[in-house]
Structure 1
Amino acid sequence: MLNPIVYAAPVFIALILIELALGWRRQANTYRITDTVSSIGLGVLSQVVGLFTKLFLVGIYTLVWQHAALFELPQNAWWVWALALLAYDFCYYWLHRMGHEINILWAAHVVHHSSEEYNLSTALRQTSTGFLLSWLFYLPMAVVGFPPLVFVVVGLINLLYQYWIHTRQIGHLGWFDKVFASPSNHRVHHGQNDYCLDRNYGGMLMLWDHLFGSFVDEREGEDIVYGIRGQLKSWNPLRANLHVYAELWRDCRLADNWADKLKVWIMHPGWRPAAAIAKAPKPAYDIGQFHKYDPPLAKGLATYGLAQFAGLFVLGVHFLAIEPSLSLAASAGYALLLAGSLWVLGGLLEGQRHFITLESLRLLLLAGAIGLSQHWLSPSAIPSSAQYLALSLLAASLYALLRIPRQPERTGTAAA
């Protein structure tokens, strides 16, 4: 069966373009090229990694369901699906909440919050490491007896529902904001204002937030500042996924007793051992001093990056579509090519000059991979006509890249 994200991807992009047009019309644009490329790129990387980890997640769930299920719930009963949607949202609430309250879980979830914009592309900004521990929170569904297929489908429904709530173009929706996850209450969740922190975790329903005291309404007259306290300051997708893990590991090494070394991983975000504070102090956070990450870029570089990312997005969808027919080696090679390309593109959009050389090498490597696709992608080789088009575009890209000035002339804030 074709990966459902292959079908969803064009819809995601179409809705982003509609939101962009609406923002321009209202003179309330919420997009920047660099941020948008970063967010969607992290989504592509998450999906690529997910191809290799989905069997781990579903496999554990299936194993528990087969050997520990208390009830044999019928897969074709409507009430099983309805209860599964409710149960999944409940489990998701606690995964999401703990993802904000326990350091090791925050290290995975932080990716989704590190964008300093809030738009539909932010919804696609997903972690590549969440699979490590997220499965623990859904095992109660397996124990109750929800079949694996039901679990997978309701999980997809829950995820897709959350796409539309990542927008600033839809205001308050009255009673709907109290009952369901909505743009208004989810904007609060993404804010770093004091009143926004650790609020509104529900994926589809706000019922759990009301029950467990984490619900708060969006405040009129107070602009929400998006992003995280302790800015990422990078478009690098690998750094976005790993920077909190690295910080926790550093504090673990600096801790001077075993209790603190353990607590680094399980305490709430922001907690640090006394020894780590003494040896590597951090300045107090002042939201009033917050400025969006916006490194200066050479003229034309943001547009070049957007064009290159469009091609990578197409390749990412192509990979999701053909992956079932590929060998493990071919899948791994394609995945590494995509991940490396996203890394190079991130460095390029940060204005790092040496990444222009790496980008030139990436274009040549990609040209070789496409030209030889009949060998390593068999039986899903790229058609000859598409190969010629892709190789022509890569040649044009290399020409354009070499004409970009080496010195930054403006910032990367150009609207997408």
Structure 2
Amino acid sequence: MPENFIPPPYVTFAIPFFFLLIFIEMGIGFFKNKNYYRINDSITDLSTGILSQLWGLFQKGVSLFAYFYLYENFRLATIPIESVVGWIACIILWDFCYYWFHRVSHEVNLFWSGHVIHHTSEEYNLIVALRQSGIGGFLSWIFYLPLAIIGFNPWVFLAAGQINLIYQFWVHTKAVKSIGTVGEFILSTPAHHRVHHAINPKYIDRNHGGIFIIWDRLFGTFQQEEEECVYGTVKPLGSFNPVWANFHYLLEIAKMSWKAKGITNKIKVWFKPPGWIPPMKEGEQAVFLKPPEVDPKKYVKFDPRIENGIKFYTLAWFVLTLIISFMGLLFVGKMSPEQIIALTIWVTLSLTSFGWILESRSISMIWEPFRLLTSFGLLYYFTNETIYIASLGLIVALSIGFMFFKRNIFRELGSEPELIG
């Protein structure tokens, strides 16, 4: 294998297989008479996954520069790229670094702000695995720099990261109860990861391993699955907007820092664990809010009532946006930076709009027509074929007409939705 080997985009190639497994899980749920999926939650999962991949294109440069720099100037050894032992070692050590990044992401507010999005779904299924952060890449790379100093080739490092991410997809399911005593002892499995996603107090901040659960056993963060899990975050997100999902906690701790009494507390907010509340007035003491007990039978999920016509409209446009995004990621190497930026902006506008529509927000009556009209600019930027523009014009006209016809179902921004009990 040549030294200038560049690993294929394994995650992009794996996407069709992800969807195959999702359909299999849906089938299992159907035959077991269990509803593992909700369309609004699943669209949000996939929306955040799309943004993670597109926004990540603009973050990789920082991490790669740092890794390449350390590898070229400070590595202790040169591990051959064709070494099978080297690949195995890199995959294992990558997961070890991931354990510490993941653990810190649950124990430090600054890092939690970039990871919390992955936990905001109140469902647990394979699509939840795709609910990834679009901003977490700004900090996560720090934890993997020791691999550069050890001497793992940057391309092996990148491939190991993709393998780790692909492995973690399958553990996000309720359909698999156990893989046997040996597998459950060594590997991170669906049973272990269900615990990780649960907000039951005994499950909080447990089972951080990506591929191997052995790290949790060694460092005291392992918890066996016992009582029924309740999923989500202690403070529910209450939104299907993928952009808000990415930034809501960052804004929350920024607001706490601004209001905190004293410069020390303003700084502490960023590095204390979630649940730590600084003193806001003279004489107050900092407090730590413990996670409340939850009852799986009484827990009410964020699930606003919405008519089927709106669901189908949103799903149709979302599928089209998903296909366009996937094609963009598949051929990103052939696109100019300006084209990548244009695609990313349009997709972000679109996914934000879908989230608001699924919440029946009145802002959709402004945002969705605006998004539809920007579609012309995106299409013209990539091609000026008359047939394509005319076809898009018809679709946009029908879409705006549909939104106008349904205008009465959209509620005021800030009013509470009617939830399905």
Normalized against structure 2, the TM-score is what? Answer: 0.89
Q: Residues 255 and 62 from structure 1, CA distance in 2 versus in 1: closer, same or farther, beyond 3 angstroms? A: same
Match of 1:55 in 2: 61
- Whether 1:318 aligns to 2:327 is yes
Question: What 5-or-longer segments of structure 2 have no aligned partner?
Answer: 1-5, 412-416
Look up the match of 1:267. Answer: 272
- Among 201, 213, 225, which residue is 1:218 paired with? 225
Aligned twin of 1:378: none
User: Structure 2 vs 1, CA of residues 75 and 259 (structure 1 numbering), >3 Å: closer, same or farther?
Assistant: same
Q: Percent identical across equivalent pairs?
A: 34
Give the conservation status (yes or no) of the 8 Å contact 2:97–2:144.
yes
1:136 partner letter: I
For structure 1, the residue ranges without an aligned partner over 5 or more in a row are: 376-382
Deviation at 1:62, TM superposition (A): 0.9
Q: Which has the higher contact order (CA 8 A, sep 6+)?
A: 1
Count of residue correspondences: 405
Which deviates the most, 91-100 or 366-375? Answer: 366-375
Letter paired with 1:373? F
**Worse-matched range after superposition: 321-330 or 248-257:** 321-330
Counterpart residue number, 1:85: 91
1:6-45 equivalent positions in 2, closer than 5 A:
6-45=12-51
Q: Is the 8 A contact 1:200 1:214 kept in 2?
A: yes
What one-letter code is carried by the residue in structure 2 that aligns with 1:296?
R
Letter in 1 for 2:179: L
Secondary structure at 1:300 match in 2: helix
Query: 2:356, 2:364 within 8 Å by CA — same for their partners in 1?
Result: yes
Instruction: Give me the TM-score of the superposition, normalised by structure 1.
Output: 0.90
In the other structure, the counterpart of 2:314 is 305
SS in 2 for 1:274: coil
What do residues 210-230 of structure 1 show as CA deviations (whole Å, max 9, x unaligned)?
Answer: 1001111111xx321000001
**Matching residue of 1:364:** 373
What CA distance in whole angstroms lies between the structure 2 residues aligned with 1:147 and 1:412? Answer: 51
Q: Which of residues 199, 216, 220 is equivalent to 2:206?
A: 199
Partners of 2:373 and 2:189 in 1: CA distance? 45
Structure 1: distance between partners of 2:26 and 2:419: 17
Question: How far apart, in 2, do the equivalents of 1:72 and 1:346 lie?
Answer: 48
Q: Report the aligned-residue RMSD.
A: 2.6
**Mapping of residues 39-188 of structure 1, within 5 Å:** 39-175=45-181, 176-188=183-195
**Shift of residue 357 of structure 1?**
3.0
For residue 391 of structure 1, report the CA deviation from its aligned partner: 5.3
Structure 1 residues 355 and 408, CA, compared in 2 at 3 Å: closer, same or farther?
A: closer
Q: 2: distance between equivalents of 1:188 and 1:158?
A: 19
Distance 1:390 1:279, change over 3 A: farther
Which of 271-280 and 364-373 deviates more?
271-280
8 A Cα contact 2:109 2:271, kept in partner: yes
Counterpart-to-counterpart distance in 2, 1:26 and 1:408: 35
Cα separation, partners in 2 of 1:413 and 1:325, compared to 1, 3 Å: farther
Separation of aligned partners in 2, 1:358 and 1:10: 31
Question: How far has the Cα of 1:190 moved from its partner?
Answer: 0.3
* CA–CA distance in structure 1, aligned partners of residues 166 and 89 of structure 2: 18
Q: Equivalent residue of 2:224, what SS?
A: coil
- Answer whether contact 1:297 1:408 (CA < 8 A) is retained: no
